[in-house]
Structure 1
Amino acid sequence: MRLPSLISAATAALSLFFGASPSSAAAIMSPHDAASPPGTLALDVGQSLFTFKYSTPNPDPSNWIAVYQSYYGGPVEQEFVAGSLDWSYAPDATGKVLVDVSNLSPGFYKAYFLAKGGYQWLSKPIDVIIPGSGPIEFVTDRIITQNARQGSPFKAKLGRLIANPKDNATQFTKVTSYGTDWVNLSKDGTISGTPGKKDKDTNFVVKATASDGSSATIKVQIPVRKAGEPLVEEIKVMSYNMWFGGTNVKDYHNKQIRFLVNINVDIVGVQESWNGQATRLAQALGWYYWQSPNEVGIISRYPIVETFPEQSAGGSIRIELDGRESQLIMWNVHLGFDPYGPYDFCYDHMPLAQVLNREYQSKRTPQIMEIVSAMQDALSEADDIPVILTGDFNAPSHLDWTEATKKAHCGYGFVPWPSSEFPIQSGLIDSFREAHPDPNAEPGITWSPIYLDNNGRPEPLDRIDFVYHKGQSLKVLRSETIVAGEPAAEPNHQDNEWTTDHAVVMTTYKVERSDRRAEL
């Protein structure tokens, strides 16, 4: 794979997360005080960005104000997570200070007033925005929310779907009124309400108006289920390698959100989501999320109610699609990338035994063995609570490398790739091959839509991203590999609408009611 050659570029792209900060020092407030810090912090509107007004009863020469991404890096637990993007000292009891953010991109950020060069709060943090140029706009022109149900409270958030925010004064209003009496819309873009017994699928238009007078609209559809019916009867599940969070492509955030909204996916397992990228996506969409301390995460329209112990290459959560009536266990993994088996075969012409030995050296084999072992309890109860496994496995499938497909694989026939053998032996089903049994007719290539040449040699093209499942309540309706637009090949990828070097795989499941109910 190409990861080693991209490390330096990605490090530069993500370096904002590891900026400077004052040296650490002792805290000055008790835990009780920390819950309600006595200081204040506010943006001085109309002054250079960001000019802050602050006050504290505990002045100190090393008190400081720091700006972080809204989704990652800040000391949310009053402990170091990552370096600030920019900062300045705020030594007085009251005063103003400029934190120069001229090198940062437009978007949402969070500011912290911190004590004595450390990370204990002197005030509650505040949300701040670096405005973009031009009028306000939404990332897309329409959105379908998660399902609502007659008689049940509903909530969805639109406030972070603004592609060109101005400040925190943007107000949202409902334009269409007919048939939307049950829908409430707050000024911050939060939709709430309870559909009545006569309410059906609800469509309306929302208008966002910025402080500069510019405005934009988005069409909203809320699917409404009848009282007593299952809330969720279909789900779309995706495996999505973000390629260093998407940072190799310009305007990656808006492009990613536009893609996820337009494809109307429900649950996404993301890989290469370093530094809170899963959190970023979920905040923009108003979804639930789990972000590993490493580089995998899961985002979901529906509530994430439990997380389980993480393994070396991934982790798992429990999602309630419809309370305890309909749940699933979701795993997401990213297996080791080097050495890469198709290179061993196609470039170095290694024998099968040597390649399989190198699969173990890559850590993929021990990683998938560890994952499958950790899944055993959930798999044994999958007819009560179904199990889904997504991931970038960095290896093909034995269902694809067969005697019938050897022409597509450098003349090699059947290969028992361990990273697919172990999941299937454990009872998991490869959803893409369930929908497309013939790998010659539908190879399902996910690596790579942009890496086509490898030092003058054709890049081996393979399906290395997967959505597996087990459980009688999940039925595959369709499965597909997807890219947005027509991505230009590397190195001319910076302006692509598609922000990653993988295609995604997305499976649509019919969710049937289980005959049994799990007791948790």
Structure 2
Amino acid sequence: MTRNEDEVGSPAARELRVLAFNTWHSGSKVAHGTELIADLIISTRASIVLLSEATHATMAVAAELARRGHEFNTVSSPDTGILTVFPIEDSADLRWMVKARLNIDGRRLTVYSAHLEFRWYASNLPRGYGPGVPPPDEFAEYNFEKMPGGPVTDPAVIQRANAASGRPEVIRAFLADAKTEVAQVSSIIMAGDLNEPSMLDWTPATANMFDHNGVTVAWESTRLLHEAGFIDAYRSMYPDPATHPGLTWPSDNAEVDVAELAWAPEADERDRVDFVFARGTALTLSTVGIVGPRTSIVRGTRQPETTSDNFAESPSRWCSDHKGILATYRFTD
């Protein structure tokens, strides 16, 4: 049946169930990927779905949901997509993000689905691997391979490689666009795969974990978001990155060879690169959790996660190399 008003909340205080999910080549890496994405949306009861790596996924998933009696409105760009049960008033393709203005009981919520540049993956450097950059940029000779000189632990060098990705500039452009939305009395949710860790995760508490090799980094993209008042859903609920690291990549996938799931086979490259951010006094975070397998890839092997992280759901079949994030908000006047 089609989702009705009671299923997504009352006009006085809506429950918004926000799912951020990297579909991994539109769900094409495993059999029946489109159906698995639809399964996930239905099982999590998501009312706003923000997809990345979704070149062909958004419309296909919407059609599959409609076939099962679940109607979602959609916005799609070449790489990102939005599905929502709420009316869409307007939308725009921002290249690295797609945005939609939603009308929720006469109130505006603007949502952005993001998928940023995957190259210049600077968090590889402390782990002794190349960041995957084209010539003539620094470290280009290593691609994503192990570097003979070992880990790069100078934060200034790491930040320089990260800035070359253009990801911080994309976030600056997003913040400028979001500022115009806030001026029009809109609350904001931005989510997706940033392909960059959080400044709240590479801290002294984790300096000797996950092959950070003693490095602490105030990663620029999340630093800009935090300074602009955007709240990281998972880290706001679980502030300790040592006990609740919230690792989303590389996720295990039992149906895919390990060699396809990770880039640094001799390192612990686990990171939290998938996020849900929100800004607006009308939004109150209720719950947030990881969605996906309770196993990850560590040094080229499948290993169970032993952290204290909150898993909202772990489906029996998985179609991605990332884990997703499910955040529930109360949306009030």
Fold conserved between structures, TM > 0.5: yes
| Aligned: 1:476 with 2:256 | no
Aligned-partner SS, 2:43: helix
Cα contact 2:289–2:326 (8 A) shared by 1: yes
Structure 2 residue runs without a partner (length 5+):
66-70, 129-149, 253-257, 303-315
Aligned to 1:288: 73
Structure 1 residue runs without a partner (length 5+):
1-142, 150-222, 515-520
Q: Please state how far the C-alpha of 1:311 moved relative to its aligned partner.
A: 2.0
Aligned to 1:503: 323
Aligned-partner SS, 2:83: strand
Q: Which of 38, 55, 59 is the matching residue for 1:274?
A: 55
Partner amino acid for 2:278?
H
Aligned-partner SS, 1:408: coil
Bigger drift between 406-415 and 452-461 goes to: 452-461
Distance 1:305 1:270 in 2: 19
Cα contact 2:8–2:16 (8 A) shared by 1: no
Q: Please state how far the C-alpha of 1:344 moved relative to its aligned partner.
A: 1.0
Change (3 A) 1:455 1:376: closer
Cα contact 1:446–1:465 (8 A) shared by 2: yes
Report matched runs for 1:36-55 at 5 Å.
Answer: none
Deviations 1:457-504 (A, max 9, x none): 034101001100011111011111111586899999xxx810000000
Aligned to 1:449: 251
Aligned-partner SS, 2:208: helix
Change (3 A) 1:360 1:487: closer
Aligned-partner SS, 1:480: strand
Change (3 A) 1:273 1:252: same
| Aligned: 1:397 with 2:254 | no
Distance 2:230 2:324 in 1: 20
Partner amino acid for 2:193?
D
Cα contact 2:250–2:262 (8 A) shared by 1: no
Aligned-partner SS, 2:89: strand
Distance 2:63 2:5 in 1: 20
Cα contact 1:244–1:272 (8 A) shared by 2: yes
Deviations 1:288-324 (A, max 9, x none): 00001x211100011112113x3231121111222x1
Aligned to 1:297: 81
Cα contact 1:396–1:464 (8 A) shared by 2: yes
Aligned to 1:253: 34
Q: Please state how far the C-alpha of 1:411 moved relative to its aligned partner.
A: 2.5
Change (3 A) 1:455 1:360: closer
Aligned-partner SS, 1:479: strand
Q: Which of 346, 366, 378 is the matching residue for 2:127?
A: 346
Aligned-partner SS, 1:386: strand
Q: % of aligned pairs identical?
A: 25
Report matched runs for 1:44-443 at 5 Å.
Answer: 145-148=2-5, 223=7, 230=11, 233-275=14-56, 277-285=57-65, 286-292=71-77, 294-308=78-92, 310-322=93-105, 324=106, 326-347=107-128, 348-350=150-152, 351-381=154-184, 384-409=185-210, 410-443=212-245
Please report the TM-score for the alignment, with normalisation by the length of structure 1.
0.51
Deviations 1:236-269 (A, max 9, x none): 1111110000111012122221121111111111
Aligned to 1:219: none
Aligned-partner SS, 2:243: coil
Decide which structure has greater helix share.
Answer: 2
Q: Please state how far the C-alpha of 1:368 moved relative to its aligned partner.
A: 1.6
Partner amino acid for 2:16?
I
Deviations 1:405-462 (A, max 9, x none): 1121423343111110111111111111111111112110101112676464034101
Partner amino acid for 2:121?
Y
Deviations 1:14-50 (A, max 9, x none): xxxxxxxxxxxxxxxxxxxxxxxxxxxxxxxxxxxxx
Distance 1:385 1:453 in 2: 38
Cα contact 1:312–1:367 (8 A) shared by 2: no
Partner amino acid for 1:305?
E
Cα contact 2:35–2:61 (8 A) shared by 1: no
Change (3 A) 1:385 1:271: same
Distance 2:12 2:330 in 1: 12
Partner amino acid for 1:281?
V
Distance 1:371 1:224 in 2: 28
| Aligned: 1:462 with 2:271 | yes
Distance 1:486 1:405 in 2: 20
Aligned-partner SS, 1:280: helix
How many aligned residue pairs are there? Answer: 284
Cα contact 1:147–1:231 (8 A) shared by 2: no
Aligned-partner SS, 2:60: helix
Distance 2:126 2:295 in 1: 29
Distance 2:41 2:180 in 1: 32
Deviations 1:165-207 (A, max 9, x none): xxxxxxxxxxxxxxxxxxxxxxxxxxxxxxxxxxxxxxxxxxx
Quote the RMSD (CA, aligned, Å). 2.5
Q: Which of these two proteins has the greater Rg computed from alpha carbons?
A: 1
Distance 2:30 2:292 in 1: 14
Distance 1:510 1:260 in 2: 19
Cα contact 2:182–2:188 (8 A) shared by 1: yes
Distance 2:294 2:42 in 1: 15
Cα contact 2:18–2:327 (8 A) shared by 1: yes
Change (3 A) 1:257 1:427: same
Aligned-partner SS, 1:233: strand
Partner amino acid for 1:364?
R
